[in-house]
Each structure stands twice: as C-alpha cells, then as structure tokens.
Chain A
Amino acid sequence: MSGVAAGSLSDGTREFLLCLADDEHLMGQRHTEWIGVAPFLEEDLALASIGQDELGHAAMLYELLSGPGRDIDDIALGRSAGEYRSCWLVEQKCPDWSDALVRHWMYDTAESLRWQMFEKSSIDELRGIAARALGEESFHVMHAEAMVAALSLSSDAHSRLAHSIAELLSLGVAMFEAPAGELDAIDDGVVSTSMVTLLPEWQQRVDARFGEQDWAAVDTVHQNGRTTRSDSFAPMYDVMREVLLIDPEAKW
C-alpha cells in the first residue's frame, strides 16, 4: 500500500508516530547539553551536529503530524507531560560522559534498525523522512562505535563503559516496548512490524560490542506503552517550556 495522505492518519498511528518524534526531540535536546563541555572540541562539534540531526528528524515528524502551515511547537512543546510518548532512555540526563556515550550508542543503534521499518510505509512523507534519517543515523552509529571502540582499549574507560551498560541496559530494552497505537500503525501500513521484533538484532549488537549480557536478568521498565514519564522528564520539560510560558501570546 502506498500514497496514504498524511492528513488522514488514524488516532493510533498519530500516537505511534509521536513516539519517534518525541524520542528524536528529547535525544536531540540531551545531545545539545554537551556542546562546549564534551571531553574535547571535536566531540563538542560532533555531538552538536548529531543533536542537530535528531532535532531535524523530530521537526519533520512534528510537521507531518501538525499539517501544513501549522506551528509545530503546539505539538512539540504544547502537550502535557502525560501526552508525551518518549522512551525513558532519552529522558535521562546522563551527566556522566560514559553514560552519555553508551546512551548515544544504544539509541543510534536502535534508530538504525527502527527507521528501516518505514522504508515501505503507506505514507509517502514518512518514507522520505526515513530515507534521510537512515543516511544520517549511519554516521551517528559510526561516531558512537568509533568512540566506544577506542575507549575500550583502556582498562579504566572499559570499566566505566561496562558500568554504564549495566546502568542503562534495562532502559535500552524498554526502547522496543510496544507503544500505544502500534497495532493501528501496523494495520494502516504505516510501519511494517512491531518494534519488539527489532530487539533480538539490537541485543546481538550490544553483545558483540560490549560482551554477552545476561538478558534474562535485565529489569523490566514500566513505561506502560510509553504513556508514563520517568522522574528525569519533569525538569527537562520545565526547561524546554520556560520561555514559552512567560508569555503565551508571544512569537519568538
């Protein structure tokens, strides 16, 4: 099936697409926090560039959901916390560089799989967005992979990364939890398969890079189909809306 107009999205599909948009938005937001404070200047610039890409993907998805000529910030920043559909991994602050790098590796490895689900989407615009995102995500994965590979040669860095993996693994798995609206999105031909079907491939890549994990022992994170927010969300949400709330009438 192809050629479905973006304006005729079902409610379930809209909710499902919000997952991708919110993930990209919040991941981009978190990456921007490293500009000027990363370990060295080239890394400042790399993470800023990756953050820029993720925000761009979010903007394209919000535009698709908003419709032509509408202000995307109504969706991007105008919803209540409970209406967001982000996974908890992207909500985390990760102020430690090791955590930030492992999160970056986990997220972009998942993205490189997830965007492939839209290559035959019934929505023309979504196929275009996916093609662009996949091209960019391949650079993100290369960046994360090269950095992890180099750092893994140092015993100190290796143990820091292992600690970060242990801390973040359950949140990584939770990226693949079936989000609200997923069944509708599959029925509508918007996405080819359920997100959870991508999990084994992602787990294999984690094992190959960081060593075999005890997947059975990984805690379950209760995101409730991404309808609830982690404790890290509220402070970020307040910061993102701080200026907008000063004057709801203002155009900036």
Chain B
Amino acid sequence: MRSWDSVEAFETFLDGGGIVEVDDRMPDVFRDAVFAFIEMHANSELMGGLTERDWIPRSPGVKNKMAILAKTQDEVGHAHLLYMVAADLGIKTRTEMMEDLFAGKSKFHNVFHYQAVTWADQVAIAYLVDSAALMSQQAVFKNCSYGPYKRMLKRIIAEEGFHMRFGEERLLKIAEGTEIQRDMFQGALDRWWLPALQLFGPDTRDGDVLLRWHIKSERNEVLRDRWVQKYVPLLTSYGFVIPDDHLRHDEATGRWEIGEIDWAPLKAALANAGPDSARRIGNASKNWHDTAWVRAALDEAAA
C-alpha cells in the first residue's frame, strides 16, 4: 500500500506516469472522482444493454438475432465488470449503485435516454454511438492513472471494436439496399446524430480534474472533432444527409465544420429528464422490484 503526504505529492506521482492501485491510500478527492466516473460508465453499459434488448426479438433473421444478443450480452457483461471495479473503491456496493440507478438518483450517458424506434436505430447505435464511445474509451485507456479501470478498459475496448464492426457491416447492407432501408437509416441518423455528438460532452473546462489526474487524456472537443472528421465523410459518401443545416466543408483546411450545438438535450438527459428517461428507468426499476424475491431467497440460502 502506498500513500502520499499531500495532494500535490500525489499529483506529481500521477504526472510522472504513476498508476494508482485499489489498495493505495489515494486522496479522497481522487477516489470520489474515479468512482463517479466508473459508476457512470457501468450504469451506461447496463442502460445501453436495455436500449438494445428491445430489438433482439425483432432482429431480422436468426443470425442477426445471435449477433445482437452477443453484443447486448457484452454490454451487460461490461456493466458487471465495471460495477466490481467501482465497488472495490469502497464507496458503494454494486447493489447500492444499481438501486441508485433504478431510483433515478445517479447518471448514465445521454444516448441511453432515447428510444431505438426502428431496426435502423439499432444499426445507428452500433455505428455512431459505439464508435463515439470507443473513441472516448480509447482516450481514457491511453494514459489512465487508475490501474484496475485501465486493465478493464483493455478488454472492453476489444469488444467494442467488434460492436463497431457490426454497425459498419449492417450499415453497408442498408446503404447498398432498397429505398425503404435507406429511408429508415436516414430517419435513424436524424434521431441519433446529435445525441452521438453530445456523447463527448461540452468543451472541457480548464482545470478539469479528470484531465489533471490523467483519467482522461484528451479534451472533449478534440475527441468530438476527430469523430466528426471521420464520420461526416463516411456517411455522406453513402449518400446520407447529416442533420446539421450549418455543416460545411472548409476547402482551405479540408475540414468539416459543424453548426453550433444546442446543449439543452444533454443537460436534460443527464438530469434523467431525457425523451425516454422515465420509461427506461421505470421499466428497469419495475424489473428489479419484480425479481426481488429471487435475490432475497438466494441470500436466505447463503445465510
């Protein structure tokens, strides 16, 4: 177990590339910040799985069903792993975290406050949301100063890569498909473009402790722009229209410039007041309540 005399000494350790382990006597402010970050990631994996599970029974074909089931299983599996990493920090147990989530007391990413209304939304989630999440996670993994999280991210990133590939392959079929399919995806793109863009968050504030303590390695706006530069040309090359009236290609720089982002939907989602928040949290809470007898019986058996 290592300890530091002051936050300044701890920060010097982090700046030198130090990796913090769970049994280190880390400053409480660091423990709290890392816990909140991992708890939100875990919640988001679980709620993301719930978004996608709506479409497993509706998947077009047995092979698609197996693929989307495996993907959803991965997401719930990530939640399972991340809750363990978060619980080890000694602030909340896994049950406390899940019960806070189902009571609407904690946060999960904005994109999972929306409903997937068609199969194309499922593809858009894999193509846009998973790619944005992967880009963010890779940036965290790069220099992450909390060892248990960094090691878990390595596995998660490997699996998220498959999810992105799933989205790419399904999108390609749609892009080369019928007019109905293309219209369906355009509808999904209209719904999911802004939430995916907002997944990166607003511009990073100066003095952000997550950057200072090497949990994050890049600013939100840098990651968001990198994603825009990659996905705008891909989507437009397939003939889809990005739902941004002010989007333009700067011929001088060769870069895509997006219009001003309305952050109100992000704020609403993070306050659990997004378009589908109440239904999502309500359903999850009801399921948790309905199966309480199983957990109680197993606790009784173990006692």
Instruction: Tell which of B46, B64, B119 touches A36, judged by Cβ atoms closer than 8 Å.
Output: B46
Contact: B83 with A41, CB < 8 Å?
Answer: yes
- CB-CB under 8 A from A37, the residues of chain B are 50, 53, 283-284, 287, 291
Q: Is B294 part of the binding interface, using a Cβ–Cβ cutoff of 8 Å?
A: yes
Residues of A within 8 A of B298 (CB): 150-151, 154
Distance between Cα atoms of A58 and B79 in the complex (Å)? 29
Partner of B178, one of A36, A150, A247: A247
Q: B73 touching A52 by the CB < 8 A rule? A: yes
* Cross-interface CB contact of A156 among B50, B70, B293, cutoff 8 Å: B293
Number of interface residues of A (CB under 8 A): 49
Stretch at the interface among A70-78, A80-88, A123-131, A191-199: A70-78
Among A36, A62, A244, point to the contact of B60 (Cβ < 8 A).
Answer: A244
Q: Which residue of A lies closest to B77 (CB)?
A: A45
Does B264 have its Cβ within 8 Å of any Cβ on chain A? Answer: no
A35 & B173 in contact (Cβ 8 Å cutoff): no
Please, which residues of chain B bring their CB within 8 A of the CB of A157? 293-294, 297
* Chain B, 32-76, CB within 8 A of any chain A CB: 46, 49-50, 53, 56-66, 69-70, 72-73, 76
Max chain B Cβ within 10 angstroms of own Cβ: one of A38, A239, A243: A243
Main secondary structure of the interface of A (DSSP, over half): helix
Q: Is residue A39 contacting chain B, with contact meaning CB distance below 8 A?
A: yes
Q: Indicate if the CB atoms of B69 and A32 lie closer than 8 Å.
A: yes
| Cross-chain contact B297 with A41 (CB below 8 angstroms) | no
Partner of B73, one of A28, A49, A77, A250: A49
Residues of the B chain whose Cβ atoms lie less than 8 Å from the Cβ of A73: 60-63
Give residues of chain B (151-176) contacting chain A, Cβ–Cβ below 8 Å.
170, 173-174
B77: A residues at CB distance < 8 A: 45
Cross-chain contact B173 with A151 (CB below 8 angstroms): no
B1 CB–A CB distance under 8 Å: no
Q: Which residues of A contact B184 (CB under 8 A)?
A: 246
Q: Beyond A45-B76, A160-B293, is A55–B57 a contact (Cβ under 8 Å)?
A: no
Residues of B within 8 A of A (CB-CB), count: 48
Shortest distance between the CB of A129 and any CB in chain B (Å): 15
Interface string of B191-211 (1 = CB under 8 A from A): 000000000000000000000
Is B62 touching A25 in the complex (CB atoms < 8 A)?
A: yes
Task: Pick the most buried of B57, B70, B180: most chain A CB atoms within 10 A of its CB.
Answer: B57
Closest partner residue, chain A, to B58 (CB atom): A242
B295 within 8 A of A: yes
On chain A, the residues within 8 Å of B23 by CB distance are none
| Contact among B56, B59, B301 with A154 in the assembled complex (CB-CB below 8 Å) | B301
Q: Given the complex of chains A and B, what is the CA–CA distance between A49 and B295 in angstroms?
A: 20
Where the two chains meet, the residues of A that have a C-beta atom closer than 8 Å to any C-beta of B are 25, 28-29, 32-33, 35-45, 48-49, 51-52, 55-56, 58-59, 62, 72-73, 76-77, 97, 150-151, 153-154, 156-157, 160, 236, 239-240, 242-244, 246-247, 249-252
- Which residues of B approach A to under 8 Å, CB–CB? 46, 49-50, 53, 56-66, 69-70, 72-73, 76-77, 79-80, 83, 94, 119, 170, 173-174, 177-178, 180-181, 184, 283-284, 287, 290-298, 300-301
Given known contacts A38-B291, A151-B298, what 20 new A-B pairs fall within 8 Å (CB)?
A35-B69, A36-B49, A36-B284, A37-B53, A37-B287, A40-B294, A42-B80, A55-B62, A97-B290, A97-B291, A151-B297, A154-B300, A154-B301, A157-B297, A247-B178, A247-B181, A250-B177, A251-B173, A251-B177, A252-B174
7 contacts between A and B (CB under 8 A): A35-B69, A36-B53, A40-B295, A41-B76, A45-B77, A150-B298, A250-B180
